[in-house]
């Protein structure tokens, strides 16, 4: 797992920019993804994947310690779908 600082270092080195510029750029990207998906839009990066939101319905769960039923509220979750190009890169032996 890469930490935030490791990610910033790697992006700065790969792009040949300062760490501050890399951090601002990555921050702006993630801010845009959050604001766009919050508004119901899908953010896609060809060759990588797409970010969108999905609605989860309210449901009844169980307390793992007591087994008692617990009401879980409806929520919105972030979803990432990998592109076929990314899937192929991650699984080179599969067709």
Residues facing residue 62 across a β-bridge: 69
Q: Whole-prediction pTM value?
A: 0.78
What CATH number was assigned to the domain covering residues 4-90? 4.10.520.10
* In the chain, domain spans: 4-90
DSSP state of 42: -
Degrees, nearest 5: CA angle 89-94-95: 100
- Residue pLDDT, tens place only, 36-94: 999 999 999 999 999 999 999 999 999 999 999 999 999 999 999 999 999 999 999 87
């Amino acid at each position: 797992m890469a930490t935030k600082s490791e990610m910033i270092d790697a992006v700065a080195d790969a792009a040949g920019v300062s760490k501050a510029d890399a951090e601002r750029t990555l921050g702006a990207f993630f801010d845009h993804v959050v604001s766009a998906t919050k508004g119901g839009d899908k953010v896609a990066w060809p060759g990588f994947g797409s970010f969108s939101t999905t609605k989860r319905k309210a449901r009844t769960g169980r307390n793992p310690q007591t087994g008692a039923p617990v009401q879980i509220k409806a929520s919105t979750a972030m979803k990432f779908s990998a592109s076929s190009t990314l899937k192929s890169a991650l699984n080179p032996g599969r067709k």
